Amino acid sequence: MTVPPTTRRRLIIDCDPGHDDFAAIALAVTSGAFDIEAITAVCGNAPLDRTSANALAIADALGTAIPVYAGAVAPLLHRYDFPADFHGVTGLDSAGATLPPPRRALAPGHAAEEIVRRVNAAPGEITLAVLGPMTNLALAIALDPELPGKVRELVFMGGGLIGGNVTPRAEFNLWADPEAAAIVLASSIKTTMFGLDVTNRAFIDGDDLARIRAAVPGANPVADIIQFYTDRSGDVAAGRAPGPALHDTCPLAFLVDPALFTIEQLAVTVETAPGPHYGATDADRRAWAPQGVARIGVALDLDRPAVARHVTDALVEAARRIAKR
Ligand code: RIB
Ligand code: CA
For the Cβ of 230 lying below 6 angstroms from any atom of ligand 1, the answer is no
Between the alpha carbon of residue 284 and those of residues 167, 169, 272, 296, the distances in Å are 21, 16, 17, 12
How many domains is the chain partitioned into structurally?
Answer: 1
CA distances from 322 to 11, 237, 298 (A): 22, 29, 35
pLDDT of amino acid 169 = 97
| Region of poorest pLDDT, from 42-56, 253-267, 289-303 | 289-303
pLDDT, residue 86, reads 85
Catalytic residues: 247
Residue 3 scores a pLDDT above 80: no
Range scoring the smallest mean pLDDT among 85-89, 132-136, 142-146, 314-318: 85-89
The model's confidence at residue 302, banded by pLDDT at 50, 70 and 90, is very high
% of residues, the chain, pLDDT over 90: 91
Taking the centre of ligand 2 as the mean of its atom positions, its distance from the CA of residue 172, in whole angstroms, is 9
Looking at ligand 1, which residue's alpha carbon is closest to its atom 1? 172
Of 157, 137, 148, 60, nearest to 103 by C-alpha is 60
Confidence of residue 85 (pLDDT cuts 50, 70, 90): confident
Q: Which strand ranges, in their side-by-side order, compose the sheet holding 296-302?
A: 68-70, 34-41, 9-15, 126-130, 153-157, 191-194, 296-302, 261-266
User: Which CATH number characterizes residue 68's domain?
Assistant: 3.90.245.10
Chain length of the chain: 325
Terminal-to-terminal C-alpha distance of the chain:
22
Ligand 1 pocket member 41 (CB < 6 A): no
Tell me the H-state helices in the chain: 19-31, 48-61, 84-87, 111-121, 135-143, 172-176, 178-185, 196-199, 206-213, 221-231, 234-237, 249-256, 304-323
Spatial distance between the Cα atoms of 166 and 84, rounded to a whole number of angstroms: 12
Q: Cα(74) to centroid of ligand 1, in Å?
A: 16
For residue 233, give every residue at least 6 positions away whose Cβ sits within 8 Å of its Cβ, in sequence order, or none.
86, 241, 243, 244, 245
Instruction: Name which residue leads in pLDDT, 85 or 240.
Output: 240
pTM: 0.97
In the predicted structure, residue 292 carries a pLDDT above the cut 80:
no
Q: Report pLDDT digits (tens) over 260-283.
A: 999 999 999 999 999 999 999 999
Instruction: Report the Cα 314 to chain-centroid distance in Å.
Output: 15
The per-residue pLDDT for range 162-187, each reduced to its tens digit, is: 999 999 999 999 999 999 999 999 99
Q: Indicate if the pLDDT at residue 1 is higher than 60.
A: no
The string of pLDDT tens digits covering residues 53-80 is 999 999 999 999 999 999 999 999 999 9
Q: Tell me whether strands 296-302 and 191-194 are parallel, antiparallel or unpaired.
A: parallel
- Any idea of the CA torsion for 160, 90, 251, 221, to the nearest 10 degrees? -130
> What pLDDT was estimated at residue 84?
78
Closest CA to 293 of 198, 185, 195, 147: 185
- The 3-state DSSP composition of the chain as helix, strand, coil percent (nearest 5) reads 40, 15, 45
pLDDT of residue 5: 61
The boundaries of the domain holding residue 113 are 5-324
Query: Residue 247: nearest ligand to its CA?
Result: 1
Q: Mapping DSSP to helix (H, G, I), strand (E, B) and coil, where does residue 129 land?
A: strand
Task: Give per-residue pLDDT as tens, 118-161.
Answer: 999 999 999 999 999 999 999 999 999 999 999 999 999 999 99
